[in-house]
Amino acid sequence: MSESPDELCLFAAEPLDRASDLRTDPRWIAARLADDESLVIPLYKGDPLIVGGKAAFLSAAARGEFPQSAPVVFLGLNKGGRAHFAIDASGAASPETAPFAELGAYTNLRDAAGSLSAEDLAVIGQARWLLDWHRRHRHCANCGAPTETGDGGGKRVCPVCAAEHFPRTDPVAIVLAVHGDYCLLGRSPRFPPGFVSALAGFVEAAETPEACAVRELREEAGVVLTGARYQFSQPWPFPSSLMMGFIADAESRTLKLDEKEIVEAHWLSRDETRALVAGAGRSDLKLPPRFTIARRLIERWSR
């Protein structure tokens, strides 16, 4: 099922050519870093530098203001062939003391997501994902030796045992259960009171996303699903999930909550859900923001 631009989940745009055939050449990467036309986006612990409400894509020459040891990853080429990189400013003592902080502010990505363009958000999401992975995977999982970056940051290589390690992706099934003209929305104990969403869970070993959707609803809410229909997906860089969205039919509206996972749940009619989407309706409930796949699932069903 294809999506119009307005339906496309944020973080899912692909504005850059990842240039997989070129980034394997260290000389090509070095040349792009030395190119005055190349751009670099700085992030402090995954949060981008925002200046005047926009993402701060700086000239690659700005790299000179960062410590030489600051990790840099190649993100891709735009349609004009301009290279985009990300640089990790996390070595600074605080975001306020990170390079170029005086121009704006290193801003929580969730807070910035609502105002950034889909293209910029996709690039920043990729940057956050890669830089976080490099920070957390500095040693070889095979022999324990320190690893080195390769392919412009697209992998890590062990100089001792030659093992190659690639950025991690954690698959998640997120499912909007429906029964007749009602959908199920629930709240995790991690969310504030009244914040309800579609239910989700990580895909386990040797499990399909569809099977995960069925299992998670049964385990978390006691709901038996008779089918799960894939809708769309969303990269979710908090830190490294791929959210796969489903709408599924429930056998009944009977609930048996696992309160360690879901502390409240509601079957809402289509009219109630439409009202919440429009910003009206029940004052005690709040939907996820529009940049989330959960919100897009709810909007798609409630039309």
Asked if 123 and 2 sit in the same domain, the reply is yes
Asked if 147 and 177 sit in the same domain, the reply is no
Asked if 48 and 147 sit in the same domain, the reply is no
Residue 39 near residue 58 (C-beta atoms within 8 A): yes
Q: What pairing do the DSSP bridges indicate for beta strands 182-187 and 264-269?
A: antiparallel
pLDDT of 21-48, one tens digit each?
Answer: 999 999 999 999 999 999 999 999 999 9
User: Residue 5: its pLDDT value, please?
Assistant: 40
**Can you name the residues that pair with 256 across neighbouring β-strands?**
none
pTM of the model: 0.93
pLDDT of 152-208, one tens digit each?
Answer: 999 999 999 999 999 999 999 999 999 999 999 999 999 999 999 999 999 999 999
Asked if 21 and 69 sit in the same domain, the reply is yes
Asked if 247 and 290 sit in the same domain, the reply is yes
Residues ≥6 apart with Cβ < 8 Å to 1: 230, 231, 232
Residue 16 clears pLDDT 80, i.e. is over it: yes
State the residue range of the domain holding 19. Answer: 1-136
Position 9 confidence tier, pLDDT thresholds 50, 70, 90: confident
Kindly list the distances between the CA atom of residue 64 and the CA atoms of 72, 90, 93, 217, in Å, as whole numbers in the listed order: 12, 16, 18, 51
End-of-domain residue from the set 147, 167, 187: 167
Asked if 297 and 217 sit in the same domain, the reply is yes
End-of-domain residue from the set 91, 118, 136: 136
User: Residue 8: its pLDDT value, please?
Assistant: 61
User: Residue 7: its pLDDT value, please?
Assistant: 55
How many CA atoms are closer than 13 Å to the CA of 215, on its beta-carbon side?
12
Asked if 186 and 289 sit in the same domain, the reply is yes
Cα-Cα-Cα-Cα dihedral sign, residues 115, 2, 229, 171: negative
Position 281 confidence tier, pLDDT thresholds 50, 70, 90: confident
Residue 65 near residue 56 (C-beta atoms within 8 A): no
Q: How many domains does the chain have?
A: 3
Asked if 22 and 91 sit in the same domain, the reply is yes
Helix or strand holding residue 249 (H, E) = strand 241-250
* Greatest Cα-to-Cα distance within the chain, rounded to the nearest angstrom: 62
Asked if 283 and 206 sit in the same domain, the reply is yes
Asked if 294 and 180 sit in the same domain, the reply is yes
Q: What CATH number is given to the structural domain containing 84?
A: 3.90.79
Query: What are the backbone dihedrals phi and psi of residue 84, each rounded to the nearest 5 degrees, phi first?
Result: -120, 135
Asked if 146 and 95 sit in the same domain, the reply is no
Asked if 242 and 129 sit in the same domain, the reply is no
pLDDT of 126-147, one tens digit each?
Answer: 999 999 999 999 999 999 999 9
> Radius of gyration over alpha carbons of the chain, in Å?
21
